[in-house]
Amino acid sequence: MCPPTWFTVDYSINVWMRPEIPVDTALAVRQWERLRDIYQDLGHTVELLDPLPGLPDLVFTANAGIVLGGKALVSRFRNPERRGEEPAFLKWFEQRGFATLQADSVNEGEGDFLVLDQCILSGSGFRSDPASGTEVAEAFGRTVVGLTLVDPRFYHLDTAIAVLDGRRIAYYPQAFSPESRATLRELFPDAVLADEDDAAAFGLNALSDGRTVVLAKAAARLGAQIRERGFDVIGTDVTEFLKGGGGVKCLTLELRDAPPNPA
C-alpha cells in the first residue's frame, strides 16, 4: 500500500475523475488508514511504498504490476500522467528481492490481471493492450483468459470482477462484451452476479484472502450475496478514492510468495 499523502484529482484519465470536485485529503487519509488497519487486524502484513509528490495515483498500488511466485512484472502505463510511477514501482520490487521485469506492452498490473488457481484473467478495452496477455502468460507460465471491457465506468478489470478465492469470483456482466460474458458464464457458472448499483459503488473492487472479503460498504447487497457463499465480509468507506476511479482493490497489491526483505 502507499499512503495517500499526495492523493488528489488534478487531471482526468477515467470517467470518475473530475478535477473540479476537490478531494478531502484528511478524509482520504482516515479511509486509507482504516483499510490498512483492517488488513492488519486480519493478521496480514502491510508493506508500504513511499508516496511521491506529483504522482497522486501512486496510492493505487494494484496497478504497480503482477506479483506471483516471487516474480514481479512491473506495469507499463497507457496514460503519460502515470508513467512516472513505473520507476518507483520497479525500484521498490528490486530492493525487496523480487525477480523483477518491466512490461513491454501496455499493462496496468492487477488492475487488469486477476490471478486465480488455474488461470489469470486479463482485461482490455480501455487500458491494457490485448497483446500484454501473451507477455503475462510467458512471464508466469500460466494460462491467460482475455476479456473485453465495454463500459467506460469499468475501465479496469478489477472494477468489474472480484476474485473471492482461487476458483470463485463475483462480477458485473454488463461491463463485458457478449463474447466475454459467455466466457465468464462457462468458466464460472456459480459466480456471484453484482447489480449496477453495487458495481457503480466499486463493490467489485474488493480484496479477499479466501476467507474474508473487504469491499466498499456502500455495496451492501453484494456483500450480503458474498456472505451467503460462506465468506466473512467487511465493508469500509473508500468514497474519497472513488473520485480517482479507485477502491479497496486499487489501493492494495497482493504480494504472493514474497521474498524476505533484505537486511
Instruction: Show which residues are catalytic.
Output: 156, 250
Residue at grid coordinates 459467455: 182
Residues linked to residue 68 through DSSP beta bridges, in sequence order = 71
Q: How far is the CA of 130 from the CAs of 31, 75, 142, in angstroms?
A: 34, 14, 16
| Residue 2 DSSP SS3 | coil
- Report CA Rg, the chain: 17
Burial bucket for residue 155 (CB in 10 Å: 0-12, 13-18, 19+): buried
Closest among 106, 144, 145, 110 to 126, alpha carbons compared: 106
